[in-house]
Amino acid sequence: MSAAQWRRAMNGGLRHAAGSSGQPPVRVQASAVASGAAAVDPYADSDAPRWLKFLWRTLSARHVLTFGLALVFPFVATPFFTFQVAAQALVLGLIALSLTFLGGYGGIVSLAQMSVAGMAGYALAILGASSTPISLDWPWWLAVIFAVLIATVCATVIGWLSVRTEGIYTIMITLAFGVAFYYLALQNYTLFNGFQGFQKVYPPHVLGVNWRDPLPFYFLSLFWAMAGYFAVKWIVRTPFGVALQGVRDNPRRMAALGFNVVAHRVAAYAVAGFMAAIGGVLMVWYNGLITPGSVNTGWQINILVIAVLGGMRHPIGAFLGAIIFVLLQTFAIDLIDRERFNLVIGVVFLAIVLFSPDGLLGLWAKLRRRFGSDPSVTSPSHRQ
Amino acid sequence: MKWGTRAWAWLLIGGPITLFSLWAIVDNPRLYFITLLNGLTLASLYFIVASGFTLVFGLMRNVNLAHGSLYLLGGYVGFFVAEKTGWWVLALAAGFLAAALAGLLLQTLILRHMQGQDLRQTMVTIGLSIVVADLLLWAFTAQVHQMDAPEWLQGPIRNIPLIKAYSAYRLSLLAAGIIIGVFLWWLLARTTVGAMIRAGVDDRQMLAASGVNVNLVFAVTFMLGAGLAGLGGVIGAVELSMVPGEDTRLLLASLIVVIVGGMGSVVGAALGAVILGLAETYGLAYAPTYSVVFTFVILILVLAFRPRGILGKPA
Amino acid sequence: MKMTKRIWIHSVVGAATAAALTSVAWAQGAPVKIGVLATLEGPFAAGGADGMRGAELAIRQRGGVVAGRKIEMVRASSNANPDVAVNAVRKLVEQDKVDLVVGPLSGGEGIAVKDYSKTQPNMTFINGGSGAQATTLQNPSPNFFRFNTEGAQWMVGLGKAAVDKGYKRVMVIAEDYAFPYSQVQGFMSEFCRLGGKVPVKAWVPLGGKDYSSVIARIPKDVDALLVVLGGADAVNFLNQYEAAGGDKPMMGGSITVSQDVLNYRGKRRDSLVGTISAGPYADSFDGADWKAFVADYQKNYPVSAGGYPSPSLFALVYYTNMKAALDALEQVKGDLSGGQAKYREALSKLELKMPTGTVKLDSNRQAIGTTFVTEVVKDSKGDLTTRVLRKVDNVDQMLGMKREEFQMGSRDVPACP
């Protein structure tokens, strides 16, 4: 069904209902429409181009404020904070965003996102330049493009194999994929260089700038993080995105309506894989190396922790969770006995999951409901 | 499956296995049969731990990813009891009870309130496993804890026809696995308690309506499942030693066993354990580099074509 | 006149203040911050904890003061993953603003930290315990120093001892990563040259627990097994090997018969008595310095407080590197100014007196030191310990071979089936 047909069907129903009884438009059919979609469009009469209207609709004061802060931040913070805390949080947030998209809007909790990111990282290391003889030394732009492509294809394959599973089974099969990839990278020496991995995988010097310096790298990650964020926000309002949320809520009904449930899910995996792949390229550039340890079970679970910490209802949750995670990881060792910081991370995660299943965003929403309401584009919590 | 597809499946899977076995037996029969025994005994350990997991998930739909931590807890407790008293049987009981108690607390305090919320249970138990793993690391340090088998099980059994000598302890593992498997089957299929458990899973409200304390039944089931993990821990402490990190390994193994065999089916768990145990040991013996990848590939193939496992029941 | 005089006084006062301010940095009393990185989590957690104890011991021996400056030890933790190690070191250098870094512990981490050290030319990095050959052989870094000998150097002399014991055919069982490769290379380069044969090499996955298959593959005609496994793996192997009725004598790698394995709480360790091995130390070495070191360790870290009965390999290497750092600091009287150039020169020329002998650095800043060939014995208290069979001095990274002959250890190199 094309976008135009869908819109006609939706609006046709509204017109009929409004025409016949003069009542406000009836909520149409099965798909869980985002709460703001049925509202009146305040810019409907304006002459401005579509994308500008989109920005006016989505951006508000807090968006501008956050963006401003993000721009100014590296100039007031130390290079350490810019690089190791902020840039790392943005990169991890991007990878967790792919999980938030899959889980929050697609109803699929996949533990393989970090592995997809790792696949992109390994592909980049193998195709590009590193200090290991295996690397093919392709020009950086070619290596990046192919790395992202390869990882996205792998993510689609993972999706295709996992698509018929649900709930806990999906978690397990994606976990299995992740662990299998870890052991493959660990044991294979001809392609993956085993335990040693690839060292000295650095971003290129382009336009006279060394992109691994704290400031340029921070802006690079900020750019891609924002791209991911807006991409997710845009996708969930497209017909595909809305149908995906429908598939999440009630796959049987969607199938009865004529939507191809399997195709939607596999496409969701592919989109999430693409985001994770970009995150993976950035991650390998951040670390300057990639080893099997970057894609082990611990990291797969960490990405899940990050996504859940922030809350899967809204894309910003991934970045919130990433910031907290990176702060905890970097500074817990100073506050708590150096050997016990795993305990701290575990307890914080446990507390949040026990008392606020929607993570920090859920806590925030609860507080706001107490002190006044302000609906925004969130993914409505789905039936369990 | 239709007859035709069935025949093809058997051929595709059975064919390469028979060919490989024929080659291996001709090449080095001793290695082949030792590996067979190794695989079956490892499968027994996996079965004991995984049966607890399948009991808890398959019957109660409680996702317990802290199962590996229960294994570790049981192992450490059993180790210290064995050290203090010198009685291995006492250590077994202690490990079982410690894990069962922990499981009871987990079920009544936390999981009972989240009945039906799969994802939330997953998260909570993951968080718990991180916390418990670190607490155990704190209490017992990262040192290797190797438990001794009881004297009557130590050392090899000699003068076996082709193999010449084999570990007595591992053979006893095989026996233990079979005994526990039969016991579980008997419990679920032939006793009133088992009937109540199965009924409770099918229709909780009817069971409650017929006067049975459903919460008690579920708590007892969870205790049994957790206790089995702890028992597995004590047994594994002898064979594989106790180290932080064992919990993740055994959890992954239980997951694979239960998924391949099918959730909620004890026979499925046995089948899955045998497949995993044999795949792992044959992989280690004949192609050590890729043995682990091999086992995960099996898991992925099973899940791709039979999403509920080989003997799995629909939800 | 007045103007010039005023200007002159101002400038003198200004210069004096400036000089005073800059010299405050290294004047008497200003503490020196030393960052210490060890693996406090993950597979080498026990070793990392002992490494920290070794580093701390070197500081305590000086009363916590070097060249009039108080020593502040900043701890950092990693888990044997290179990316975590680099993050930890970056935090030490850029956030905690340490003056020097001692660490890391594991081989892969060492290479990653060495690469990082090249981006921080004004900071000095001294190794902790990492023993990969490539760290100083391939792309060495001008400010990364290693005062401990590495994996291959630790095995020099074992090949000859094996031949002396009559072992002509040996099977190698080792973990599949860089450190065992270098250990095996150190053993085989001597063993093969003296006519020994290694028909089978079994590389087992790191962290694997089930050795039944490897044991089943042991050929009937080998004389001994060279077991290069660490920690829990070695424990499992020994256990399973005896249970399977195995009876071939064993030789151990340097971390196989290290204290944290000889200490494992089980009775099967009796089967280890008589095993030959080689490494940078031996528990019952007679040297006075060694005995003093062991006594000091035991006094500061009694078993009740979590220490081992005798310092482990990790404690020794961390102690060695920290002592080198402090000795050189003493030599330059605590002067870390000028991008630490004087300090690094002192380090390069340092002749370190450590408990097992003297250590000098070669042109790649890699240690040239002593290796001990040892045998496992039971002491009067019933604990397992090692005694010295032979002491080999001045072992350098080329293992006595010419540069053209030398090949870094890998899975297939060297080979003499």
Cβ-defined contact of B143 to C263 (cutoff 8 Å) = yes
Q: Are residues C60 and C119 in the same domain?
A: yes
pLDDT level of residue A24 (50, 70, 90 thresholds): very low
Task: Identify the pLDDT of residue A382.
Answer: 47
Computed over every residue of chain A, the mean pLDDT equals 82
Are the CB atoms for C59 and C322 separated by under 8 Å? yes
Residues of A in contact with C139 (CB under 8 A): 131
Can you tell me the distance from the alpha carbon of A183 to that of B290, in angstroms, rounded to the nearest whole number?
A: 8
Q: Give every CB contact of residue B256 below 8 A, 6+ residues apart in sequence.
A: A176, B272, B276, B295, B296, B299
Q: Quick one: closest CA in A to B263, which residue? A: A169
Contacts of C205 in chain A (CB under 8 A): 183, 186-187
Spatial CA neighbour of B300 closest among C15, A59, A174: A174
For B275, residues 6+ apart whose C-beta sits below 8 A from its C-beta are: B260, B261, B298
Chain A residue with CA closest to C40: the answer is A339
Cβ–Cβ under 8 Å, residues A278 and A145: no
The pLDDT of residue B169 is 82
**Structure confidence at residue C327 (pLDDT):** 92
Of C391, C161, C128, C158, nearest in space to C282 by CA:
C391
**How does pLDDT run across C131-176, given as a tens digit for each residue?**
888 888 888 899 999 999 988 899 999 999 999 888 999 999 998 8
Range of the domain at C279: 153-286+371-395
Q: Which of B16-20, B87-91, B239-243 has the least mean pLDDT?
A: B239-243
Q: Does the beta-carbon distance from C209 to B137 stay under 8 Å?
A: no
Residues C343 and C282 in one domain: no
Q: Is the pLDDT of residue A160 over 80?
A: yes
Region of poorest pLDDT, from B177-191, B202-216, C158-172? B202-216
Residue B180's Cα: distance from chain center in Å? 11
Nearest CA in chain C to A198: C112
B-chain CB neighbours of C240 within 8 Å are 167, 239
CB contact under 8 A, B288 and C46: no
A115 band by pLDDT with thresholds 50, 70 and 90: very high
Residue pair A199/A131 in contact (Cβ under 8 Å)? The answer is yes
Residue of B nearest to A307 (CA): B123
**Sign of the Cα pseudo-torsion (A240, A241, A244, A245, in order):** negative
The residue ranges of DSSP E strands in B138-185, in sequence order, are 156-160, 164-167
Cβ-nearest to C177 among A183, A194, A339: A194
Q: Higher model confidence: residue B132 or residue A37?
A: B132
Give the up-direction half-sphere exposure of residue C33: CA atoms within 13 A in the CB hemisphere. Answer: 14
Q: Does A157 lie at the interface with B, CB-CB under 8 angstroms?
A: no
Q: Return the SS3 of A380.
A: coil
Pair C36, C111 in one domain: yes
What pLDDT, on the 0 to 100 scale, is given for residue A271? Answer: 96
- β-pair type (C69-78, C32-39): parallel
- Give a yes or no: residue C12 inside a domain: no
Torsion of CA A373, A377, A378, A379, to 10 degrees: 140
Which pTM value belongs to this model?
0.83
| pLDDT computed for residue C21 by the predictor | 47
Residue that wins the pLDDT comparison between A335 and C95: C95
A161 in B contact zone (CB under 8 Å): yes
* C219 and C263 belong to one structural domain: yes
Give me the residue from A83, A200, A330 closest to C115, CB to CB.
Answer: A200
**Shared domain check, C257 and C180:** yes
Select from A103, A131, A54, A3 the least CA-distant residue to A314: A103
Facing A194 at nearest CB: one of C80, C116, C176 = C176
Q: Say which residue, B284 or B142, is predicted with more confidence.
A: B284
* pLDDT at residue A34, rounded to an integer: 42
**What pLDDT, on a 0 to 100 scale, did the predictor assign at position C207?**
65
Interchain proximity B35–C243, CB inside 8 Å? no
Per-residue pLDDT, averaged over A113-120, amounts to: 96
Q: Which residues of A fall within a CB distance of 8 Å from C203?
A: none
- Over the stretch A91-100, which tens digit does the pLDDT of each residue have? 999 999 999 9
Best of C83, C141, C175 to disrupt the A interface by mutation (most A CBs within 10 Å)? C83
- Identify the pLDDT of residue B226: 92
Chain B closest-CA separation from residue A255 CA (Å): 19
Mean pLDDT of C360-379: 88
Please count the residues of chain C. 417
Chain A residue with Cα closest to C138: A131
Determine the average pLDDT of the residues in C9-28: 48
Percent of chain C with pLDDT over 70: 89
Q: B138–A339: do the CB atoms touch at under 8 Å?
A: yes
Asked if the model's pLDDT at residue A284 lies above 60, the reply is yes
Residues in chain B within 8 Å Cβ distance of C214: 284-285, 288
- The verdict on C266 and C382 lying in the same domain is yes
Taking only the tens place, the pLDDT of each residue in A336-376 is 765 676 788 788 888 888 887 777 887 777 777 887 655 55
Average pLDDT for C81-100: 91
Q: Which of residues 269-298 of A touch B (CB under 8 A)?
A: 297
Task: State the CB neighbour count (10 A cutoff) for residue B121.
Answer: 22
Are C275 and C376 contacting, i.e. CB atoms less than 8 angstroms apart?
Answer: yes
CA-based nearest distance B157→chain A, Å = 34
| Residue C7 pLDDT exceeds 70 | no
Cross-chain CB nearest to B303 (options A169, A304, A347) = A169
**Residue A105 is which amino acid?**
Y
The highest-confidence range among A363-377, C32-46, C320-334, by mean pLDDT, is C320-334
Pair (C343, C353) in one structural domain: yes
Percent of chain A with pLDDT over 90: 36
**Distance, CA of C59 to CA of A59 (rounded, Å):** 57
With CA atoms as reference, the chain C residue closest to A131 would be C139
pLDDT for C24: 43
Clarify whether residues C212 and C275 are in a common domain.
yes
pLDDT tens-place string over residues A28-41 = 333 334 444 445 66
> Where does the pLDDT of residue C382 fall: very low under 50, low under 70, confident under 90, or very high at 90 and above?
confident
Place of tokens 């305040």: A42
The pLDDT of residue A320 is: 92
Q: What ipTM was predicted for this assembly?
A: 0.81
Q: Are residues C203 and C114 in the same domain?
A: no
Chain A residues with beta carbon closer than 8 angstroms to that of C40: 338-339
Residue of A nearest to C45 (CA): A339
Is the model more confident about B121 or about C19?
B121
Quick check: is C61 in a domain?
yes
Mutate to test the interface with A, among B258, B263, B296, B302 (most CBs of A within 10 A): B296
A235-249: pLDDT as tens digits: 999 999 999 999 999
- Percentage with pLDDT > 70 across chain A: 84
Which of B69, B106, B124, B131 to mutate to probe the A interface, most A CBs <10 Å? Answer: B131
Q: Which of C86, C91, C177 sits opposite A195 (nearest CB)?
A: C177
CATH of the domain at C188: 3.40.50.2300
Which residue in B166, B241, B271 sits closest to C208, CA to CA?
B241
Please indicate if any CB of chain B lies within 8 Å of the CB of A165: yes
Question: Nearest-CA neighbor of B144 among C256, C40, C232, C257?
Answer: C232
Contacts of C107 (CB under 8 A, 6+ apart): C130, C131, C132, C135, C151, C177, C178, C179
- Tell which residue, A287, A288, A316, has the closest CA to residue A299: A287
State residue A303's pLDDT score.
92
**Does one domain contain both C99 and C80?**
yes
Q: Check A164 against B124: CB less than 8 A apart.
A: no
Of the candidates A187, A347, A384, the beta carbon closest to that of B293 is on A187
Interface contacts B/C by beta carbons within 8 Å: 119
Digit-coded pLDDT (tens) for A208-263: 888 888 889 999 999 999 999 999 999 999 999 999 999 999 989 999 999 999 99
Cα separation, B138 vs B140, in Å, equals: 6
Q: What is the mean pLDDT of chain B?
A: 82
What is the predicted pLDDT for the residue at B313? 62
Do A332 and A87 touch, CB atoms closer than 8 A?
Answer: no
d(CA C215, CA B37): 13
Residues of C contacting chain A (CB within 8 angstroms): 40-41, 49, 75-77, 79-84, 86-87, 90-91, 94-95, 108, 111-112, 115-116, 138-139, 176-178, 205-206, 411
pLDDT value at position A130?
Answer: 85
pLDDT at A60 over 50: yes
Q: Is A188 on the interface with C (CB under 8 A)?
A: no
Q: For the domain made up of A61-371, give the CATH fold.
A: ABC transporter involved in vitamin B12 uptake, BtuC (1.10.3470)
Among all residues of chain C, which has the CA nearest to that of A286? Answer: C83
Q: Is the omega angle on the peptide bond into residue C414 within 30 degrees of 0, that is, cis? A: yes
Of the pLDDT bands very low, low, confident and very high (cuts 50, 70, 90), residue B115 is confident
Q: Is the pLDDT of residue C263 over 80?
A: no
CB-CB under 8 Å, C91 with A84: yes
Mean pLDDT of C261-288: 74
Residue A23 has pLDDT above 50, yes or no: no
Residue range B144-154: average pLDDT? Answer: 72
Task: Determine the pLDDT at residue C25.
Answer: 44
From CA B111, how far away is CA B121, in angstroms rounded? 7
- Interchain proximity C80–A333, CB inside 8 Å: no
Mean of per-residue pLDDT scores for chain C: 83
pLDDT class for B143, splitting at 50, 70, 90?
low
Coil vs helix vs strand at B158: strand
User: Cβ neighbours of residue C310 under 8 Å, at least 6 residues apart?
Assistant: C259, C283, C294, C297, C298, C385
What total of structural domains would you count in chain C?
2
Query: Which pLDDT band, with edges at 50, 70 and 90, does C2 fall under?
Result: low
Chain C residues inside the 8 Å CB shell of A293: 79-84, 108
C254 with C375, same domain: the answer is yes
User: How far does B58 lie from chain A, in Å, by closest CA?
Assistant: 12
Q: Is 50 exceeded by the pLDDT of residue A14?
A: no
pLDDT reading at B84 higher than 50: yes
- The torsion angle over the Cα atoms of residues B6, B12, B14 and B18, rounded to 10 degrees, is 150
Same domain, C167 and C259: yes
Mean of the pLDDT values across residues C4-9? 56
Domain-located, residue C250: yes
Which of B144-158, B191-205, C301-315 is the most confident on average?
A: C301-315
Show residues of chain B in contact with C212, CB under 8 Å: 34-35, 38, 42, 170, 281, 284
Using a CB-CB distance cutoff of 8 angstroms, which residues of chain A are in contact with residue C82? 197, 199, 287, 289, 291, 293
Whole-angstrom distance, CA of residue C330 vs CA of residue C208 = 45
Instruction: Please check the confidence at residue C12 and state whether its pLDDT lies above 80.
Output: no
Find all residues with CB under 8 Å of C46, minimum gap 6, and list them: B141, B142, B143, B144, C231, C260
